[in-house]
A = this chain, B = another copy of it.
Amino acid sequence: MLKDVVRTKTYQNVIYQNKFLFKNKIILDVGAGTGILSLFCAKAGAAHVYAVECSDMADMAKEIVESNGFSEVVTVLKGKIEEIELPVAKVDIIISEWMGYFLLYENMLNTVLYARDKWLVNDGILLPDKASLYLTAIEDADYKEDKIEFWNNVYGFNMSCIKKQAMMEPLVDTVDQNQIVTNCQLLKTMDISKMVSGDASFTVPFKLVAERDDYIHALVAYFDVSFTNCHKLMGFSTGPRSRATHWKQTVLYLEDVLTICEGEALTGHMTVAPNKKNPRDIDIMIKYALNGRRCVVSRVQYYKMR
């Protein structure tokens, strides 16, 4: 994960270029991993950093903090945010890299919100404090052939029941920006400093207008995060027009191949909710319609991220 340069460099820039935020402050790093963000904060002048990590990586983080000479400033706490105790009443800043694939898959947002409510001072700062989910549509004939239609004829046998399953699984992969056929629609913005629950259940409309005559094989979701408390706005995008990150994009293949003309709109709704049986999984429903000159389609499709 450290090798995701976009991710780590953005956090590093946010911290090193905004030392005024960190100077003499108490920081809580939620899900600290190797402790890299805590070390950045320490170097930026923090009074103290509490690096909370529940996996065995906490032992590594301790060793790393020590061998880099920051034991006085960074305290690694092995455990869950919900269970650990801090030796301070409140912290000034909570920093965390909590985002999952599709922003919401296996994310740590609820943990961050819990930490916010329990440990952050009233006018405290969350880094990042905004996250937005976007949707666009792509031409993807080659890959759909390779990843989905493949199952129609596997060494001479029909495995279309696996195809059905493959269609239901959003695919985490990088998309070439030249495949983008429509505008990019903002689906939802989350204000991490104010939102009440991190449970991802929502229904949002979308309207994707074709920017050229083309075919649409899939919808593509991605997210941005921002740090609005910096001297100037900072953040990064995981969209297909930005430098690739380990989050890539999330591709949702459509049953239909849509023949869309420039200016025509693919409209619909996306519903996202944790799976009832296994709340780690995410159920996605997409209702879409195109009433075009060359193609009239209306359909509901179900996906499951697991």
Contacts and interface: CB of A to CB of B under 8 A. Distances in A.
A157 B2 CA distance: 12
Contacts of A249: none
A36 B159 CA distance: 10
Contacts of A43: 156
A150 to B, nearest CB: 7
Interface size class of A (residues with CB under 8 A): 20 to 34
Given A3-B150, A34-B162, A150-B3, A157 B68 contact: yes
A162 B64 CA distance: 9
A63 interface: yes
* Copy count, this protein chain: 2
Given A3-B150, A150-B3, A162-B34, A155 B64 contact: no
Query: Which among A34, A150, A165 has the greatest number of chain B C-beta atoms within 10 A?
Result: A34
Given A36-B154, A36-B155, A150-B3, A160 B12 contact: no
Interface string A169-184: 0000000000000000
Contact of A158 (B8, B64, B157, B158): B64
A67 B36 contact: no
B67 A154 contact: no
Closest 9 CB pairs of A and B: A63-B161, A68-B157, A64-B159, A39-B157, A60-B161, A67-B158, A2-B154, A68-B158, A12-B155
